[in-house]
Chain A
Amino acid sequence: MTAASLPQRPTLVTLARHIGVSRQTVSNVINAPHLVKPSTRERVLKAVIESGYRPSVAARTLRTNRSMMLGLRLFPINNGITRAVMDRFLHQLATIAHAHGYRLTLFTAADDSEELDQLLELAQRGAIDGCVLTDTSATDNRPEVLAAEGVQFVSFGRPWGQPGATHPWVDVDGGAGTAKATAHLQSLGHERIGFLGWPTGSGVGDDRHSGWLRTLSAAGRADADVLTVRVEDGTRAGAQGMHQLLEAGATAIVCTSDTLALGAASAAQKVGIALPVIGFDDTPTAAALGMSSVAQPLEEAAVAILEALVAILTGRAVEPRTTLLKPDLVLRAEGLFRIPQPPERN
């Protein structure tokens, strides 16, 4: 039954013709992306992804003695809205890996050390060619161990608090995201913009706080402490935080997560207060409810991770590669939670 659709399946040749480049260029984008001009690379990769083209793995494994598999630990779900961003990242990673001819070996682990045990076991018996690390933290020793054991990897997440780290990583500049959100609220006339975030100590949370803080400070506000509320991630905590920030005189709120934003926005709506709230991660929930949010460029992150890995695995990486991507601000005005007009200025 597969025969009928086979003739329509894209090949290197049909793809090259479709995009208007040489067959070799398409092949390079898949196997050696660093050899191709970034603008061409982007155009070709987009076409490869859209077409669903998949390099022949059978031929490659035979030729190169590679498994064409990348290891990835799947972290447990906490059933929350916030954590689901990593599931969306997984979809992007699998899609981009596919375009480069790789599949993912997915596994769970009780902790970092069991994750390492599994990655080392998989790498030693040639079941994976490399791996992707996620959920980096300040006490993370995974990069060191993998480097010492000669297992190739790229990390999605910075080496928080480890300025000496030299391994390749790709991350999203959370601070740039909250800075954009804060600047947007300022452009609407808000000055007392509150920050509703997580307790200090998480790299990601502190990074998001810093973007709000520097944007507020740049506008000459010295009362950032009063306008900061830190709570655990949850809608109930978000609702309570909203009330605290209201008492502190906030007229708009930037949040570390959509979960907090959802709690804050619903609580504001419940008491009939017009309070613009901007969340983080642009979750499906935020989209469904019409909430504004900061979106991580997950596809771009997956593209950068695969490019770095392919370069490393083909022995053509020249230096440790680090990429910090800028998130987008997604403004929604037609949804069920509207960003209201700013209050009258005194």
Chain B
Amino acid sequence: MASPTAQQRPTLVSLAREVGVSRQTVANVINAPHLVKPSTRERVLKAILESGYRPSLVGRTQRTNRSMMLGLRLLPLHGGVTRAVMDRFLHFLAKVAHAHGYRLTLFTAADTNEELAQLLELAQKGAIDAAILTDTTDGDARPDVLAAERVNFVAFGRPWGRPESAHSWVDVDGAAGTAAATSYLIAAGHERIGFLGWRDMTGGGEDRRIGWERTLPRSVTAEAGRLFVGLEDSAEDGFAGAQRLAETGATALVCASDVLAMGAAACVRSSGQNLPIIGFDDTPAAAALGLSSVAQPLEEAAVEILATLVAILADTQEAPTHTLLSPKLVIRSGGPCRPPEDRV
């Protein structure tokens, strides 16, 4: 049954011909990406991802005595719109790992201690070659423990509150995202731009708030405190927060999440106000509702994480790398409840 598609399945040679590089270059992009010029690497990796090419594992696991598995803890189901961004990240991670010949060992854990215990057990019996950490927090002990136990890893998320940490990480510059959103609203003629955030703004939330605050026009910076509302991450609270910010004279809103933006959009719609809203994470819900949002470059993050891991595992990493990626502002003007930004 596999024969008809097997013939069409891409090979190193067919990929090399398609991209116009040597077979060795394609092999290097997979096994030693740091040896390839970034522009070439990007072009070849794109072709690999599109083709669905997968390096043969049978040979590699035997030759290198590696499991070709990467360990990753899956956090419990949260049910919310906001948390789903990590599920989308998982898809990109699995896809890019596939292109480098890796699979994921997925597990759940009651807490970070149990996550560590499982990662150490898996690494010790050679069931994983490395780990990927997500949901980094202030005071996160995982990087230190893994480093001490010599388990290779890359974190998706900065070591919040510990800038001196020496491990490799990849993160998205949330502040750059809200700054871009705020600049967009300023260019559309707004000055009193409100920020709808969370009650608990530690880590990623505070990063998003800072991007908004530092971009506010000088005329309103003194009022930044009044233009900020921090609530729970729900549409109901987004609704209430938008009401409060509109009362303080905000004429546009930047939100820490799409859920808050969804609630704010419903508030604006029901009161007939003319208030543009920009959410965060570019969730499927925002796309469906025609809401503008800030999109995290999840595929790029997965590409950077894998490139870093492959370099670490090939023992060619000279020093830990810290990669901060810029998100992209997605402006939408269609959909069933578009933000009325076309008034200007």
Chain A positions near chain B (C-beta within 8 angstroms)? 1-2, 5-6, 9, 51-52, 54, 57-58, 61, 67, 69, 74, 76-77, 79-81, 84, 87-88, 90-92, 94-95, 97-98, 103-111, 113-114, 116-118, 121, 125, 127, 141, 145, 235, 239, 259, 262-263, 266-267, 270, 284-285, 287-290, 335-336
Contacts and interface: CB of A to CB of B under 8 A. Distances in A.
Contacts of A6: 113
B288 A105 contact: no
25 contacts: A2-B117, A5-B111, A54-B109, A76-B91, A87-B87, A91-B108, A94-B74, A103-B107, A104-B105, A105-B104, A106-B106, A107-B98, A107-B103, A108-B91, A114-B54, A116-B1, A125-B61, A141-B1, A145-B1, A235-B289, A266-B289, A285-B288, A288-B259, A288-B262, A288-B285
A2 B116 contact: yes
A319 B183 CA distance: 64
A46 B263 CA distance: 34
Contacts of A92: 77
B121 A58 contact: yes
Contact of B263 (A239, A285, A336): A336
Contacts of A270: 336-337
Contact of A288 (B77, B108, B235): B235
B266 interface: yes
Given A1-B145, A284-B81, A54 B114 contact: yes
B336 A95 contact: no
Nearest to B283: A285
B95 interface: yes
B271 to A, nearest CB: 13
Contacts, number: 170
Interface of B: 1-2, 5-6, 9, 52, 54, 57-58, 61, 67, 69, 74-77, 79-81, 84, 87-88, 90-91, 94-95, 98, 103-111, 113-114, 116-118, 121, 125, 127, 141, 145, 234-235, 239, 259, 262-263, 266, 283-285, 287-289, 335-337
Which 10 A-B pairs give the minimum distances between C-beta atoms? A52-B110, A110-B52, A266-B336, A91-B77, A87-B87, A285-B285, A106-B104, A104-B106, A288-B235, A103-B107
A168 B238 CA distance: 45
Contacts of A69: 105
Nearest to B72: A106
A285 B5 contact: no
A52 B6 CA distance: 43
Contacts of B57: 121
Contacts of A67: 127
Contacts of B113: 1-2, 5-6
A91 B76 contact: yes
A267 to B, nearest CB: 6
Given A52-B109, A108-B94, A336-B266, A263 B1 contact: no
A88 B77 contact: yes
Tell me which of B1, B145, B263 has the highest count of chain A C-beta atoms within 10 A of its own C-beta.
Answer: B1
Tell me which of B76, B105, B118, B288 has the highest count of chain A C-beta atoms within 10 A of its own C-beta.
Answer: B288
A186 B109 CA distance: 45
B266 A105 contact: no
Given A288-B259, A336-B263, A84 B87 contact: yes
Contact of A117 (B2, B79, B88, B285): B2
Nearest to B53: A110
